[in-house]
Amino acid sequence: MPAHIQSGPTASITEFKRNPMALIGEEPLAVLNHNAPAFYAVPADLFDEIMDRLEDAELNALADARAGGEEVSVSLDEL
């Protein structure tokens, strides 16, 4: 069954094991096993951005869930 590859660059698992740092660039790398994606290697900067966006999405979902709820007044002196 053909698999859809979610990145531009690809490498075989053999190539990746030989020298992984030589293959990691600015975008995700699909590592293939028998011509199917086994996993994706993601550069650290991109991983940080993904995690930030997921955190923002979680906070937005929490805010949406609380929308229309009871308002609570708070002053800085009380904190």
pTM of this structure: 0.69
Token pair in block for residue 27: 């975008």
Question: Under 8 Å CB-to-CB from 24, ≥6 apart: which residues?
Answer: 41, 43
Whether 1 shows a pLDDT value over 60: the answer reads no
> Which of helix, strand or coil describes residue 35?
coil
**pLDDT for 42-70, tens place per residue?**
999 999 999 999 999 999 998 888 888 88
Whether 36 shows a pLDDT value over 60: the answer reads yes
**Nearest residue to 39 via CA among 5, 2, 74:** 5
Question: From CA 17, how far away is CA 10, in angstroms rounded?
Answer: 13
**pLDDT for 10-25, tens place per residue?**
999 999 999 999 999 9
